Amino acid sequence: MTEEDINGISNSSFDKAVQKSKLLEMDLYKNPTKYRVLTGDRPTGNLHIGHYFGSILNRVKLQNIGVETYILIADYQVLTDRDVFKDISKFVFELTLDYLACGLDPKEHKTYIFPHSHIPELNQLLVPFLSLVSLSELNKNPTVKEEISASGKEIINAGMYTYPVHQAADILFCKSNVVPVGKDQLPHIELTRTIAKRFNTKFNTNLFPEPIGLLSESPMILGLDGNQKMSKSRNNSIMIKATEDETYKLIKSAKTDSERHIIFDPVNRPEVANLLRLSSLCLGKSPEEIATEIGDLGSGKLKQITADALNSYFKEIRERRIQLEMDKSYVRSILQDGIKMARQTATETLSEVREAMNMMI
Ligand code: TRP
């Protein structure tokens, strides 16, 4: 299978997105106040260490250099593909706890955390935006197509086709110009750019920026099975909030191979390479260096080093999480502050949108 088959985006447009993302990243560190970041997650449960090294850590870095950061919890979007409404408020709470424990800090920085269901003015943008895209464009979205086929369902609700337009509202309500995402989200960013452009042209305005996707640099973290991405639904992950014991047990159960000598060889020994990569991220040493240190001591030693490294890296984060968990009203106040700020921004944007569309009274 080519990359195009897998992701539905051609290599050349992917290369372009990577290039754009690299240039953007350099400028972000030089001019942090020029940018407004918005990114989002679906509240489907707790975050695992793949999420942490793949995206959360990067968000914390951006926050800490002074970039304004909107973190959106996409609770409406979850309705399009999952039956989780009974658990949703718990998931929103747990996700917020994970964010705060990992260092996102709305009290100290310009960081706002909010569920989009609480921002009516954001949701209202969906209506005009829907008239800017065609059905065939929605049908062609490669990420949506893949999610539909993975769901195995025969009847697909309309929300499944329109959620990328909703996502454009998520991004454009605050006129964000940087959206940190994984590769699978690039089609949605492209659609957002299209909607921004069409809105500006149709209503003769320059209201919306065309946001750029910021692709995370960190290596792909595989699951404990060593042959596919870490993901909760694949049952191969270590949660950020796992205890030390759970972490030891999980790492002990990780698949390795029978060769005693440890080397970093991602192609031929992906499982061993994955554990070396995880230790490397936690210890700040190269995977090769760690492999050399282990040498002939085998995968038992590799597992011990990896579990120790994870447990010491996440110690403080886990302790903070336990503290926060006991302070429900603090966590709630974080969300209330986030909602307040996001609504203020959304209200201003909606009023500008109405003006542009000639719908003021
Ligand atoms: N669709 C994203 C996902 O499945 C979540 C999301 C919703 C999002 N709104 C967003 C991501 C806005 C970035 C920007 O993970």
DSSP symbols for 245-313:
HHHHHHHHHS---S-SS----TTT-HHHHHHHHHHHHHHTS-HHHHHHHHGGGHHHHHHHHHHHHHHHH
Identify the pLDDT of residue 84.
Answer: 82
Atom of ligand 1 nearest to the CA of 167: 9
CA separation for the pair 59, 120 (Å, rounded): 25
CATH 3.40.30.10 for domain 3-218+328-356: no
Q: Is 181 in the pocket of ligand 1 (CB under 6 A)?
A: yes
Task: Compute the distance between CA of residue 284 and CA of residue 288 in angstroms, rounded to an integer.
Answer: 12
Q: Is the CB of 169 under 6 A from ligand 1?
A: no
Share the mean pLDDT of the chain: 93
Kindly state if the Cβ of 143 falls inside 6 Å of ligand 1: no
User: Quick one: 232-325 is in which CATH superfamily?
Assistant: Tyrosyl-Transfer RNA Synthetase (1.10.240.10)
- Tell me what pLDDT residue 151 has: 85
C-alpha closest to that of 187 among 139, 126, 149: 139
CB-ligand 1 contact for 271 (6 Å cutoff): no
Q: Are 342 and 114 in contact (CB under 8 A)?
A: yes
Phi, psi of 214 (to 5 degrees): -100, 110
Q: Is 170 in the pocket of ligand 1 (CB under 6 A)?
A: yes
Closest CA to 47 of 195, 231, 189: 231
For position 235, what pLDDT does the model report? Answer: 87
pLDDT at 9: 57
pLDDT band at 2 (very low <50, low <70, confident <90, very high): very low
Summarised one tens digit per residue, pLDDT across range 314-358 is 999 999 999 999 999 999 999 999 999 999 999 999 999 999 999
Q: Which atom of ligand 1 is nearest to the CA of 74?
A: 7
Instruction: Report residue 13's pLDDT band, with 50, 70 and 90 as the boundaries.
Output: confident
CB 240 within 8 A of CB 102: yes
Q: What is the mean pLDDT of residues 257-283?
A: 95
CA of 85 to the centre of ligand 1 (A): 18
The 10s digit of each residue's pLDDT in 188-227 is 999 999 999 999 999 999 999 999 999 876 667 899 998 8
pLDDT band at 10 (very low <50, low <70, confident <90, very high): low
CB of 6 within 8 A of CB of 199?
no
Query: In the predicted model, what is the mean pLDDT of residues 42-56?
Result: 94
Q: What is the pLDDT of residues 221-258, one digit of tens each?
A: 899 998 888 988 888 999 999 999 999 999 999 999 99
Give residue 158's pLDDT band: very low, low, confident or very high (50, 70, 90): very high
Question: DSSP for 138-198?
Answer: HHH-HHHHHHHHHHT-SS--HHHHHHHHHHHHHHHTTT--EEEE-GGGHHHHHHHHHHHHH
Report the predicted TM-score, pTM, of the whole model to 2 decimal places.
Answer: 0.93
Q: Which atom of ligand 1 is nearest to the CA of 166?
A: 9
* CB 167 near ligand 1, within 6 Å: yes
pLDDT at 144 over 80: yes
d(C-alpha 94, C-alpha 241), whole Å = 10
Pick the more confident residue, 133 or 82.
133
How many angstroms separate the CA atoms of 309 and 326, rounded? 27
Does ligand 1 have an atom closer than 6 angstroms to the CB of 192?
Answer: no
Among 72, 147, 174, name the best residue to mutate to test ligand 1's pocket (greatest count of ligand atoms within 8 A of Cβ).
72
Closest to 314 in 3D by CA, of 120, 107, 98, 165: 98
Backbone φ and ψ of 41, nearest 5°: -135, 150
Kindly list the domain boundaries of the chain, sorted by start residue: 3-218+328-356, 232-325
Please name every residue paired with 114 in a beta bridge, in sequence order, or none if there are none.
Answer: 72
DSSP string, 102-151: HT--TTTSSEEEEEGGG-HHHHHTHHHHHTTS-HHHHHH-HHHHHHHHHH
pLDDT of residue 7: 45
Q: Write b or e for each residue in 206-225: b if 16 or more Cβ atoms lie within 10 A of its Cβ, otherwise e.
A: eebbebbbbbbeebbbbbbb
Q: What is the pLDDT of residue 220?
A: 76
